[in-house]
Amino acid sequence: MAGQDQAIHLLSLAELSKGLSSRDFSSRELVADLLSRIDGDETLNAFITVTADQALSFAEECDKARSKGDIGALNGLPIVYKDIFCTKGVLTTCGSRILENFVSPYDATVVERMASAGAVMLGKTNMDEFAMGSSSETSYFGPVRNPWDSERTPGGSSGGSAAAVAARLTPAATGTDTGGSIRQPAALTGTVGLKPTYGRVSRYGMIAFASSLDQAGVITRTAEDAAMLLAVMAGFDERDSTSVDHPVPDYVGGLTAPMKGRKIGIVRQHFDEGLDEQCAARVKDALSALEQQGAELIEIDLPNLDLSVPTYYVVAPAECSSNLSRFDGVRFGRRANDAKDLFDLYCRSRGEGFGAEVKRRIMTGTYVLSAGYYDAYYLKAQKVRQLISQDFRNAFEKVDVIAGPTTPTPAFKLGDKTDDPITMYLNDIYTIGANLAGLPGISVPCGFVDDLPVGLQLVGPHFAEETILACAHQYQSVCDWHQRCPEAYQ
Amino acid sequence: MNDAWEVVIGLEIHNRLATNSKMFSGAANAYGADVNTQACLVDLGYPGVLPVLNADVVRMACKFGLAINATVARRCVFARKNYFYPDLPKGYQISQFELPIVHDGELMIKDDKGDDKRIGITRAHLEEDAGKSIHEGFDQCTAIDLNRSGTPLLEIVSEPDLRSAKEAIAYMRKIHSIVRYLEISDGNMEEGSFRCDANVSVRPIGQEELGTRTELKNLNSFRFVEKAINFEINRQIDVLEDGGKVVQETRLYDSDRDETRPMRSKEEANDYRYFPDPDLLPVEIDDAFVAEVEKTLPELPDAKQLRFVEQYELKVEDTEILTLSRAVADYFEAVAINFAGKAQIAANWVIGELSAALNREGVEIIDSKIGPTDLAGLLSRIQDGTISGKIAKEVFEAMWAGEGSADEIIEAKGLRQITDSSAIEKIVDAVIAANPAQVEQYQSGKDKLLGFFVGQVMKETGGKAHPGQVNEVLKSRLKKD
């Protein structure tokens, strides 16, 4: 039994669940162990808030509940939330100075569902400010570092969640993915990152960046753990009109579906220029492994793939420019002192409260929605978005899943791309398409380049989480990349 | 006004819908609560919250669309109107822009000559209201009340078909009447449930091209709409006749000074950056829904008016007054049904005595102290000759004061009309005997003095004598033998 011979922090969520039910350890012991690891880490800057007291007392409650036999699916299991999820009575900053003092009066639906299933919140993780970034460097609370190389980024925007899972500070974390913000950091930290179908998980209580693209998901070390969490998070929420009333299947039960006979699409454009050669080699190795398990590899085209990044950088800023208007210093959050008048209050509260990347996107978004530019930018982008969706629909007539690289390169150095937003944006070239089309995607560790993890991305049709989770799980049953742990965190 | 100029007016009416909860949140939609007690996290624009459409607003807008013979869009879209203001918590207002829920409607009004005139209604769209800024009484600060934030409005935009302030008022009254008939709004103007912006321009008669318009804001009573429009028409004509140009601008009406004046240009230099709200799905409306709503439509004022003329043989101008409000029309019908005499008598009483009493006491007709069956009871006593019309007014006042039914009051006060001819003759003889001088004058040709004798008889009988009989007896007794 894994639980008896391995250190507790190395266990997966599924293994911890077994350990708790066979009373190998209590939730309190588990939580205390992880809290001390979190407390001991001075490198990563993965957390903005650690909720130690709250976690210990909730863990005790979970232990009591277990002794009475009345328990939820995640009873006593630890989790951390990206600081974009509102948590009642707990600081919720979204990585921004403008919310440096914001204590949410309510729980996000995701948090509510996790808590009622018995998951124990350890803390809130660091992130790019308002989820705008691909390196977790735009956070007001300082950059997150990659456990595999502290000079490098863990990716972003859910970098704190990915780093915490990779460093075994928690077995599981939530993230949000607007253009790759779960899958890209998962790839760069050797973890599993699942972005569900748009509408699969409620966005209520998730601070909005780009409403038509944002989707909550999870970062774990195994596809099995992601399936356990998705089963709790997924489902219609009457408080989110864009959540879809679609049945929630048994994700964990579906994991055993065999690879044999799966038609896996390989996108010709993925292996064009831009992809690091060694990364390409790791991804191709992974594809061969899938083939060996009985999958049929089929070459496909996504002809408008190169338009996805420019399209995204019109649509997402447009929505963010409007979504972030509520941060005005009037009702909550940071307010500038001694404003001369209303205009000054707005300018200074927002000027001081937002960082450079957020301002850049608000300005871009305001521009593309302006009278005279709307048709040329916003409307055009919406049309291209339809084309990209159509490309995927065409592809899924031929294949069950699309597989390829998650990112063009392994983790880059902190500061490397901060002065060059376009290069930074291109890091999301393989992930953005799934957001524009609303499709589910997962990144699974598939090897290393110079001791840095590489991710394999699987994308499925709408509501095919079961399929991509099963493929990822089957792949993980024949490899051990996800078992590798950064040396400093073993 | 001036014969050389033609006036062109279009109205935008903002009408608060009478839903239980707000347009996109569960907070109560009611006027008059303590400040900021009816605003939930959604209304406050907190981080992470999302709007959820109240199905009632869709039903109400659809009802309105059917009532004005408009197209109810099978698909409509909510859009964000972006601007910063402290009483707009999200920094945008959820409205409808390119695809409104109702478009291409119409209604009929009477123009200045009393002829029927069709007024086109371009569109009616749904939008949430903003909160309220209070600038006075907070020592250099502005206070914000968000109770109104997110309450549902139906904005009704007319074509520029109106040609005078009077027509504008007629149109506005018609809309006001329709929304209350449909029970989609209380139409309360003092509480801001029904307010209006007017687009006004003038052009030389015969000119095709429209003149430059100004937009008048903040018009919250019929009287102010009329005054503001008339002020603005005269102002524009003066400007043009002096060789000047009308500037396209938004002007506020100041009712204290009875004038319009421009808003500061900063307040209107907005690019609202409308775009479809990604938090809300497009609203799909199917035929079955529309058919179901159609079944709930009440008889509307125009149809009711026609029916009243036909069924009750009322004067046309009276039916206009009676059908303006559904409650008044219902009251009238309840009286008419319970009254065997001519319905016109019932109409006269509802428009006359009853309305006067309601106005005097500031009471709505549904709260009238005299119910329709009681009023019918009173009219029946006139009809059967128990009391005269004059005495009936006295009985009416007593009924209003809560002294009982018509019959009870007539009995208690002994108001029954004297119809016994010998009793009347006796009194007439006494009056004639007591006024020899007047008798002589009458008999020498001063016919008008008959009224004097009637008055004297009535005085003697406390008004209870049957006026017809008194007349007859007087005439025969005063005849020179």
Residue A319 contacts B, CB cutoff 8 Å: yes
| Chain B residues with CB-CB distance to A324 below 8 A | 91
pLDDT at A5: 66
Residue B472: pLDDT band with limits 50, 70, 90? confident
CB contact under 8 A, B91 and A326: yes
Q: Cα-flanking dihedrals φ and ψ of residue B175, to 5°?
A: -60, -45
pLDDT at A138: 97
- Compute how many other C-beta atoms are within 10 angstroms of the C-beta atom of residue B292: 12
| Chain A residues with CB-CB distance to B49 below 8 A | 204-205
Residue A325: pLDDT band with limits 50, 70, 90? very high
Q: What Å distances lie between residue A410 and A186, A189, A425, CA to CA?
A: 11, 9, 15
* Percentage, residues of chain B above pLDDT 70: 98
pLDDT at A435: 98
What token pair was written down for A164? 């915490």
Residue type, B374: D
Q: Which of A215-219, A365-369, A431-435, B112-116 has the lowest mean pLDDT?
A: B112-116
Residue A165 contacts B, CB cutoff 8 Å: no
| Chain A residues with CB-CB distance to B48 below 8 A | 85-86, 104, 108, 204-208
On average, the pLDDT of chain A sits at 96
Picking from A318, A331, A366, the nearest residue to B89 by CB comes out as A331
ipTM of the complex: 0.96
What is the mean pLDDT of the segment spanning A420-442?
A: 93
Residue B446: pLDDT band with limits 50, 70, 90? confident
* Residue in chain A nearest B82 by alpha carbon: A322
CB contact under 8 A, A318 and B86: no
Picking from A207, A239, A328, the nearest residue to B84 by CB comes out as A328
Distance between CA atoms of residues A428 and A422, nearest Å: 11
* Percentage, residues of chain B above pLDDT 90: 73
Residue A2: pLDDT band with limits 50, 70, 90? very low
Picking from A342, A371, A378, the nearest residue to B86 by CB comes out as A342
Q: Which of B18-32, B146-160, B417-431 has the lowest mean pLDDT?
A: B417-431
What token pair was written down for A240? 């989110």
What is the mean pLDDT of the segment spanning A380-409?
A: 98
Q: Between vectors from CA A303 to CA A302 and to CA A306, what angle results, nearest 5°? A: 95
pLDDT at A415: 93
CB contact under 8 A, B278 and A211: yes
Q: Report which of A250, A383, A226, A252 is spatially closest to residue A315, judged by C-alpha positions.
A: A383
Q: Write out the catalytic residue numbers of A.
A: 82, 157, 181
pLDDT at A362: 98
Q: What is the pLDDT of residues B382-398, one digit of tens each?
A: 998 888 888 899 999 99
Can you list the domains of chain A with their CATH numbers?
2-269+279-302+393-489 (3.90.1300.10)
Q: What is the pLDDT of residues A291-313, one digit of tens each?
A: 999 999 999 999 999 999 999 99
Q: What is the pLDDT of residues B53-71, one digit of tens each?
A: 999 999 999 999 999 999 9
Distance between CA atoms of residues A60 and A331, nearest Å: 36
Strands A401-405 and A263-267, bridge-based pairing: parallel
What is the mean pLDDT of the segment spanning A375-390?
A: 97
Distance from CA of A363 to the nearest CA of B (A): 13
CA count, 13 A, side-chain hemisphere, A101: 8
- Compute how many other C-beta atoms are within 10 angstroms of the C-beta atom of residue B12: 17
Q: List beta partners, residue A81.
A: A124
Residue A239: pLDDT band with limits 50, 70, 90? very high
pLDDT at B2 over 70: no
Q: What is the pLDDT of residues B255-281, one digit of tens each?
A: 888 888 888 654 455 799 999 999 999
Residue A157 preceded by cis peptide, ω within 30:
yes
Write out the H or E segment, with its range, that includes residue B105: strand B102-110
Q: What is the pLDDT of residues A56-70, one digit of tens each?
A: 999 999 999 999 988
Contact A222, A11 (CB under 8 A): no
Distance between CA atoms of residues B185 and B177, nearest Å: 10
What token pair was written down for B159? 């074509």
Q: What is the DSSP letter of A212?
A: T
Domain ranges of chain B: 5-292, 301-413, 421-478
pLDDT at B264: 66
What token pair was written down for B297? 């439509």
Q: Cα-flanking dihedrals φ and ψ of residue A250, to 5°?
A: -85, 90
Q: What is the pLDDT of residues A11-41, one digit of tens each?
A: 999 999 999 999 999 999 999 999 999 999 9
How many helices (H) and strands (E) in chain B? 16, 16
Rg of the Cα atoms in chain A: 21
Q: What is the pLDDT of residues A355-364, one digit of tens each?
A: 999 999 999 9
Q: List beta partners, residue B254.
A: B259
DSSP 3-state of A50: strand
Residue A245 or residue B432, greater confidence? A245
Contact A449, A413 (CB under 8 A): no
Dihedral of CA B131/B137/B138/B140: which sign? positive
CB contact under 8 A, A369 and B53: no
- The beta strands (E) that lie in A286-360 are given as 296-300
Distance between CA atoms of residues B129 and B273, nearest Å: 18
What is the mean pLDDT of the segment spanning B182-210?
A: 94
Find the length of chain B: 481
Q: What is the pLDDT of residues A106-125, one digit of tens each?
A: 999 999 999 999 999 999 99
Distance from CA of B279 to the nearest CA of A (A): 6
Which of these CATH numbers, 1.10.110.30, 3.20.20.70, 1.10.1740.10, 1.10.10.410, describes B421-478?
A: 1.10.10.410
Q: What is the pLDDT of residues B307-335, one digit of tens each?
A: 999 999 999 999 999 999 999 999 999 99
Task: Give the DSSP per-residue string, B131-184.
Answer: -EEE-SSSTT--EEE-SSTT-EEEEEEE-S-B-SHHHHHHHHHHHHHHHHHTTS
Q: List beta partners, residue A193.
A: A219, A443
What token pair was written down for B261? 């004046």
| Chain A residues with CB-CB distance to B46 below 8 A | 104-106, 326, 331-332
Task: Give the DSSP per-residue string, A354-390.
Answer: S-HHHHHHHHHHHHHHSTTTTIIIIIHHHHHHHHHHH
Distance between CA atoms of residues B44 and B37, nearest Å: 11
pLDDT at A1 over 50: no
What is the mean pLDDT of the segment spanning B96-111?
A: 96
Buried b vs exposed e over B470-480: b needs ≥16 C-beta within 10 Å? Answer: bbebbeeebee
Q: What is the DSSP letter of B4?
A: T
Q: List beta partners, residue A444.
A: A456
| Chain B residues with CB-CB distance to A210 below 8 A | 278
Contact B111, B167 (CB under 8 A): yes
Q: Is the pTM of this model over 0.95?
A: no
Distance between CA atoms of residues A470 and A40, nearest Å: 36
Picking from B89, B271, B281, the nearest residue to A242 by CB comes out as B281
Distance from CA of A179 to the nearest CA of B (A): 16
pLDDT at B423: 83
Helices (H), A41-108: 52-68
Residue A175: pLDDT band with limits 50, 70, 90? very high
Distance between CA atoms of residues A362 and A356, nearest Å: 10
DSSP 3-state of B203: strand
pLDDT at B478 over 90: no
pLDDT at B68: 98
